Amino acid sequence: MPQTAPAPRTALVTGSAGFIGYHLCARLLEDGFTVIGLDAMTDYYDVALKTRRHAMLNQRPGFTAVEARLEEPGLLAGLMAHQAPEIVVHLAAQAGVRYSIEAPRSYVESNLVGTFELLEAARAHPPAHMLLASTSSVYGANTDMPYAETMKADMQMSFYAATKKAGEAMAHAYAHLYALPTTMFRFFTVYGPWGRPDMALFRFTRAILEGRPIEVYNHGDMMRDFTYVDDLVEGIRLLIDVPPERPADASGIAPGDSLSPVAPWRVVNIGNSAPVRLLDFITAVEAATGRRAEKIMMEMQPGDVPATWADGGLLTRLTGYAPKTGLEEGVRRFVAWYRDYYGV
């Protein structure tokens, strides 16, 4: 008898019209997944970008868009009951360090209440693996670098980071109580085509091409572990297939692993593991645009940190993968996309 092809796996991706969500959904669709994408289309930045991303995904077989707020009581529970996703990737969040000073309540609603609604839905309708986005900002005031997942991270410098750290703790409790295999990933300064307008690369590129000066915080004395979006998505895709298991006891945890001794839960950094000076980053943008930047030197912004640097060893041990796109190449790809999208 002819063999029946296996049914495609179903993934629920929250924040599917966002920068990372769009790229991840596209990758999952390429791999044959059925994808349900949830996004609220909030106006934190240009909604036209989000609409265009969802429109492109909607043109592909296997994608279903749902426009709704994840913090709406019972919405996620109903969606998961109906769709029964095997994989859940939670990317939806109120982002931005600086905006969390201006509008902290939106972070409570999206990052805390929204994550709670997801965890409750997963408790009632358990997926095989749940993956939730965190941020390198949770390392906060730590000065020992590179940042490793096993480091203590209890001194967040912004309310945004505090809500993401709280999300990690909430997910751990649910993983322990309800045996939900859960992976938290900490992102390190993601950039690339279709990026967010509030991020440095987008702001620098726009200002330079429009002949306006750029604001350089902390007088340029900053370092970031810039991670190209395709590398980040590859890391997430590979982590989907390695759900954590609760070890019999703490002695079963491999050295350097962030796995919990009481829950099928771990944290994984996804970063390029190669910090870049802010002024060198600006030089790469200048090279890609073919124009020099006029710089206005500014003081450090409240809630910001002077440096980030990922220890990517755990991701490599789990998946065999390490991000590899060089900064100059990644910036060139972004600038090419920006020129094409905005007709510059």
All domains of the chain in start order, with CATH: 10-190+227-272+309-324 (3.40.50.720)
Question: Among positive and negative, which fits the CA dihedral 54, 162, 243, 234?
Answer: positive
- The whole-number pLDDT of residue 4 equals 56
**Phi, psi at residue 198, to the nearest 5°?**
-85, -5
Do 177 and 150 meet the contact criterion of CB atoms below 8 Å apart? no
Share of the chain above pLDDT 70, in %: 98
Nearest to 306 by CA among 69, 169, 181, 139: 139
270-312 tens-digit pLDDT: 999 999 999 999 999 999 999 999 999 999 888 788 889 899 9
Show the low-confidence residues of the chain (pLDDT under 50). Answer: none
- The whole-number pLDDT of residue 338 equals 98
Q: What's the pTM?
A: 0.96
Identified catalytic residue from 139, 160, 191, 228: 160
- The whole-number pLDDT of residue 6 equals 67
- The whole-number pLDDT of residue 3 equals 56
Residue 160 catalytic?
yes
CA atoms of 10 and 155, how far apart (whole Å): 37
C-alpha 179, offset from chain centre: 24
